[in-house]
A = this chain, B = another copy of it.
Amino acid sequence: MRIEAGRHPILMIPGPSEPYPEALHIASLKIFEHYGSRWLKIYNVFYEYSLKLFGAESGYVIPFPIPASFTMEVILNSLFDKESNILFINDGFFVRRFKDIALRYGLSVHHVVPQSPGHRVDLDEVGLLMDAVDIEAVVVVHSETSQGILEDLDGISNIVKDRAVLIVDSVSSYGALKIDVIRRGIDICIGYSSKALGALNGITPVYISEEIADKLRERKKYKAFLNDLKVWYEYREIWPFHPYPTSLPTHVILSFIKAAENVLDEGLDKVERRHWDISRYVYRRLEEFGLEGYPEPSSRSPTVSVFKLNDVDADDIVDYLIKKYNILIGTSKFAGYNGIRIGHMGYTANYRFVEPVISGVIEYLSNSSEQ
């Protein structure tokens, strides 16, 4: 089968993202043995970089070679028993998925949603609920790509930390925004390789705090094998020459290192600013033209811009951008409304990449309104 890269569009969907070219290139260099001293030198670089991107000087990273949703399943299965009270913040595709996982494991689900879609939740409501119910954990999706909303991690952590386990999904912010797990008292944080970081899909680093590690150590029984965080944590010590219980895709780890090097060389502060600049620019240009931004301005994620559409079909804009510019953006249809979603994260958080998208959307809408 012939695959011709040039024929296929640049990805400006909210993930997978177009990787940094260096992070894509290195994947074809070499497969390593995923154990032993030669490999562990490379693995330790991955480990150091992944901790840095979480903003952690202490705590642990578990290198899960599984999808991010699966790591949430491992986390919920590992740390809570049936009927534990778990609170989910805001709405969106992944929040609903995580609620669904919790329900399938028999947990008691609580859910605070905003007064209207596109907004953040009322944090006073979170506080009141936590006063009334013995919430064991709060789950937050930092940047929800189905809605384009960025949650207020500072506000949430002020209410939650020291009262419940704070679990953050930073899948589409990891590598682009400062997560600061230590300062914010985040107990568990899920990173990702192939969205904002700009590396290849296949490795999901998960930060766990020392307090969570203590809990895992103290628990006597196992709840599963690879579906139990305790097993992953313990292999750090059981097998020092192979500090994880299964194989790792070494080429994805190389890709992760390369992307993380790009980010750390540029500086996480500057990378974050670049994402904000691009996000504000995309919203300003398309709102000036008359499009309606979906999230209200103060809750917008800088890694993905979302617009509601009224008169035209999102799929038609997507098709136009593919045909004229060979660029792929996303729609909001699976989330239940007619809208477009433009990913600009990692490598593509750059004027060079968003300018043709803006032009194409404006062209299409101008032409369609003239008809």
Contact = CB atoms under 8 A, between A and B. Distances in A.
A30 B7 CA distance: 10
Given A16-B33, A18-B31, A224-B73, A252 B249 contact: yes
A15 to B, nearest CB: 8
A30 B8 contact: yes
A132 interface: no
A202 interface: yes
Categorize the interface residue count of chain A: 35 or more
Given A65-B202, A202-B252, A251-B201, A225 B100 contact: yes
Contacts of A261: 1
A288 to B, nearest CB: 29
- Tell which of A69, A201, A225, A250 has the most Cβ of chain B within 10 Å: A225
Interface of A: 1, 3, 5, 8, 11, 13, 15-19, 24-34, 38, 42, 45, 65-67, 69-70, 73, 77, 97, 100-101, 104-105, 194, 200-202, 222-228, 245-252, 254, 257-258, 261, 328
A225 B33 contact: no
Given A16-B250, A261-B1, A25 B26 contact: no
6 contacts: A5-B30, A16-B247, A27-B28, A67-B246, A70-B246, A227-B227
Given A19-B31, A24-B31, A29-B3, A104 B225 contact: yes
Q: How many copies does the complex hold?
A: 2
Given A1-B45, A69-B225, A104-B225, A201 B29 contact: no
B5 A33 contact: no
A254 B201 contact: no
A227 B45 CA distance: 31
B3 A31 contact: no
Nearest to A6: B30
A34 B8 contact: no
Given A16-B34, A101-B224, 10 more contacts: A1-B257, A24-B30, A31-B200, A34-B201, A65-B66, A69-B246, A97-B225, A104-B228, A194-B249, A249-B252
A73 B13 contact: no
A67 B247 contact: yes
Given A3-B254, A33-B13, A248 B201 contact: yes
Nearest to A16: B31
A258 B1 CA distance: 7
Contacts of A252: 202, 249
A10 to B, nearest CB: 10
A11 B200 CA distance: 22
A343 to B, nearest CB: 10
Nearest to A76: B225
Contacts of A77: 224, 227
A26 B8 CA distance: 14
